Amino acid sequence: MRLTLGFSPCPNDTFIFDALVNQKIGTEGFSFDTKLEDVETLNQWALQGKLDITKLSFAAGLKVADRYKLLNSGSALGRGCGPLLIARKDIPLAAIKDLTIAIPGENTTANLLFSIAFPGASQKKIMLFSEIENAVLNGDVDAGVIIHENRFTYQLKGLVKLIDLGEFWEATTGQPIPLGGIFIRKDIPEAVQQKVDELIHTSLEHAFAGYPALSSYVTDHAQEMDEQVMRQHIDLYVNQFSLDLGEEGRIAVEKLKEMAGK
């Protein structure tokens, strides 16, 4: 059976899916047409129902819950791994509502977490996540919400953290931060859904067995990132929740739904 599968080129996703899409494990008759795209592109595609299986921001997953089901394996969820609000210099948090803020996509969990923390902030500029640091540096925006590997690079560029939105979430809710998950179309047979979930789990187990070695599939898609940053990225976003959301992970996702008013 052939299915379409979308995930990002970021190290956490390529690390998880490498063994599956490159048939380093037995796939039990399944094959995949893969699409590697920025998560906000995948979020937009999900609104159109474009792919069978896809990585999504949990915020986007809430919007397509009638069409897509969350799988147990493959999620990015944890503690101390949330998006950061950065600027060129310190800014009082009370002033954030009046500033222009770059966000990495309307449907991202980062945008949702920012909106929960700063409900009065309305001057948002949607940008590709990798462009936000430079937009802040150049003064195109007053501040920006950064995700992915930019957590490890913003200080090297002289930027400062105004608030860790993940810490805000954890302090407010007591829950781990639900960033993104793997979703499958609900009209796909239940037995297929379950088998795909198991294959993702097995693919990640295979990756962990060889870690900290990185495959060429991970390094080739990580572009200019050095291997230390790739491992920091994987260490931050791939964990026990990625193998199986479990009860704690499901509760965190439900809390996000509650806070989003869905």
Q: 95-111: per-residue pLDDT in tens? A: 999 999 999 999 999 99
Is 170's pLDDT higher than 90? Answer: yes
Give the contacts of 87 (CB within 8 A, at least 6 positions apart). Answer: 136, 142, 143, 144, 159, 160, 162
Domains recognised in the chain with CATH numbers: 2-77+178-259 (3.40.190.10), 84-173 (3.40.190.10)
Q: Does the annotation place 110 within a ligand binding site?
A: yes
| Residue 153: how many other CB atoms lie within 10 Å | 14
Q: How confident is the model at residue 132 (pLDDT cuts 50, 70, 90)?
A: very high
- Catalytic residue positions, numbered: 148
Q: So what's the pLDDT on residue 68? A: 98
Check whether 57 is labelled as a binding-site residue.
yes
pTM value is 0.93
- Relative to beta strand 101-103, strand 68-70 is unpaired
Mean pLDDT over 114-143 rounds to: 95
Q: What is the pLDDT of residues 203-262, one digit of tens each?
A: 999 999 999 999 999 999 997 688 998 999 999 999 999 999 999 999 999 999 999 986
pLDDT of residue 148: 82
5 is in an annotated binding site: no
Question: Angle, nearest 10°, between helix axes 109-117 and 165-173?
Answer: 70
Segment 50-78 mean pLDDT: 97
